[in-house]
Structure 1
């Protein structure tokens, strides 16, 4: 079993690689090798099998062709230009989030090996006039370029799966929090930084009010779901290979209260409230009421509480020393 993680240098890619290394198996087979690829060399991962690090730009078809070979059994396509960046730079978003997905699919088509392809989409594919709550049968109506590009990727994944060119499955990720590391260019980045930085003893800025609601999932649970998603049989997925990954809706105030319940009152005092219109314009169009019945029926799970999200960060990702 050869596994490829495109976007293997990112947060979820690295955590997924470590989880696969600990498991040693996927889809009932022993993992024989793992390839991690990104625009720059991913960090190394210790594993009981060979782990190869590669550079690849999925916007470049030749780079993709050199990366994916006929021995690749499972591909995780995690790489993306994130929301605010895709909104600022239409070409960057189109090249990676749309053409990059097409390049991966076309390489799989040319090989004729029908690998399992796990694609991470986003709840940003919803918006506008879609009624609440959003269900498995709600139509896609993105209100950002990022959401539109992800929706196009989903349609391509479904069509290539229908044709038998890949065995695809796509998961619309909730906002992942609490993310370790540094803020990125995603509009949702503050949804981690307002917790991560205070837990690290640093000040953070919150650009929205305490009553702002959103749909969340922890990094730990996301990785567990991605592994489970790869192991689903094609027959269980039905005619639509894409679905919302389970999460839960909390307000900013509830998240901060959860942090206080776990870590005490000091971190919340480091949050400064400053409205940022550019961020608010993007995130106010996002939806937060979801009923992910299909994914739940297939065995994917949400976090039990946001206190758990805080505990997972403290256990897995809090900088030591």
Structure 2
């Protein structure tokens, strides 16, 4: 079993790789090789099988030919230009998020080996005037370029799966919080920074009110769900292999209160509350009621509480 993680140098890619190393198998077969592909060389880690790195450019078909070969059994397609950056740089977003996704699928079609492709989409595909709650049967109506690009990716994945070129399954990720490391270009980045930095003794700004609700999932549960998603049988996915990954809706205030319950009052005192006009247009459409029934029925899970998200960060990622 050869596994390829495209985006293997990122937060989720690294956590996914380490989780696969701890398991040693996927889809009932021992993992024989794991390849971490990214724009820059990804960090490696100990595993009971060879872990290799590959530099690649997902927007370049020749690059995909080099990293996807006939021995590749499972591909986790995590690489993306995220929300705020995709909004600022229209061409880059479409080149990576649309052309790049198609390049991966086209390489699989050319090989004729029908690998499992696990594609990470986003809840940014929802929005506009579509009635809430958003379910797996709601129309996709993205209100930012990133959401549009991910919606196109879902349609491509669905069609390439229907035609038998790949065994695809797509998961619309909730906002993943708390992400470790440095902030990225996601508009939702503050939803990690207002916990990550205060828990590490630093200040952070929250650009929305305490009553702002959103749909969240911890990195630990995200990785568990990606692995479960890879192991689903194609027949269980039905005629639409893309679905929303489970998460839970909490307000910012509830999340800050959860941090206080676990870590005491000091971290919350390091949060400032100043609006950021450059994010306002993106955040305006994010008050979402999302119901991920299909993924729940297939065995994927949400966190029990945001206190768990705080504890996972303290256990897995905090830099003291």
Q: In structure 2, the residue corresponding to 1:131 is in which secondary structure?
A: coil
Q: CA RMSD in A?
A: 0.6
Give the count of matched residue pairs. Answer: 320
* Distance in structure 1 (CA, Å) of the matches to 2:2 and 2:15: 18
* Distance in structure 1 (CA, Å) of the matches to 2:227 and 2:284: 31
Q: Which residue of 2 aligns with 1:173?
A: 173
* Distance in structure 1 (CA, Å) of the matches to 2:249 and 2:126: 15
Q: Which residue of 1 aligns with 2:22?
A: 22
* Distance in structure 1 (CA, Å) of the matches to 2:261 and 2:149: 39
Q: Which residue of 1 aligns with 2:237?
A: 237
* Distance in structure 2 (CA, Å) of the matches to 1:253 and 1:202: 19
2:11 aligned with 1:11: yes
* Distance in structure 1 (CA, Å) of the matches to 2:30 and 2:305: 34
2:225 aligned with 1:225: yes
Q: In structure 1, the residue corresponding to 2:72 is in which secondary structure?
A: coil
* Distance in structure 1 (CA, Å) of the matches to 2:138 and 2:106: 28
* Distance in structure 2 (CA, Å) of the matches to 1:174 and 1:286: 11
Alignment of 1:269-288 (within 5 A): 269-288=269-288
Gaps of 5+ in 2: none
Displacement of 1:287? 4.5
How big is each residue's C-alpha offset from its partner over 1:149-196, in whole Å with a ceiling of 9 and x where there is no partner? Answer: 000000000000000000000000000001100111100000000000
TM-score with structure 1 setting the length: 0.99
Retained in 1: the 8 A contact 2:212–2:287? Answer: no
Q: Which residue of 2 aligns with 1:45?
A: 45
How big is each residue's C-alpha offset from its partner over 1:241-280, in whole Å with a ceiling of 9 and x where there is no partner? Answer: 1000000000110110000000000000000110011212
Retained in 2: the 8 A contact 1:105–1:160? Answer: yes
* Distance in structure 1 (CA, Å) of the matches to 2:280 and 2:228: 34
Alignment of 1:141-180 (within 5 A): 141-180=141-180
* Distance in structure 2 (CA, Å) of the matches to 1:248 and 1:278: 26
* Distance in structure 2 (CA, Å) of the matches to 1:18 and 1:283: 33
Retained in 2: the 8 A contact 1:246–1:296? Answer: yes
Q: Which residue of 2 aligns with 1:124?
A: 124
Q: Which residue of 2 aligns with 1:91?
A: 91
* Distance in structure 2 (CA, Å) of the matches to 1:138 and 1:106: 28
Q: Which residue of 2 aligns with 1:107?
A: 107
Q: Which residue of 1 aligns with 2:134?
A: 134
* Distance in structure 2 (CA, Å) of the matches to 1:90 and 1:255: 33
* Distance in structure 2 (CA, Å) of the matches to 1:160 and 1:283: 32
Q: In structure 2, the residue corresponding to 1:172 is in which secondary structure?
A: strand
Retained in 2: the 8 A contact 1:136–1:243? Answer: yes
Q: Summarize the Cα distance change of 1:114–1:287 in structure 2 as closer, same or farther, 3 Å threshold.
A: farther
Question: Which 4+ runs in 1 deviate beyond 3 A?
Answer: none
* Distance in structure 2 (CA, Å) of the matches to 1:135 and 1:122: 13
Displacement of 1:284? 1.6
* Distance in structure 2 (CA, Å) of the matches to 1:35 and 1:220: 21
Alignment of 1:170-319 (within 5 A): 170-319=170-319
* Distance in structure 1 (CA, Å) of the matches to 2:287 and 2:162: 29
TM-score with structure 2 setting the length: 0.99
Gaps of 5+ in 1: none
Displacement of 1:286? 2.3
Q: Which residue of 1 aligns with 2:32?
A: 32
Retained in 2: the 8 A contact 1:127–1:287? Answer: no
Of the structure 1 ranges 288-297 and 224-233, higher mean CA displacement relative to structure 2 is found in: 288-297
Retained in 2: the 8 A contact 1:177–1:192? Answer: yes
Retained in 2: the 8 A contact 1:123–1:287? Answer: no
* Distance in structure 1 (CA, Å) of the matches to 2:185 and 2:305: 27
* Distance in structure 1 (CA, Å) of the matches to 2:211 and 2:281: 16
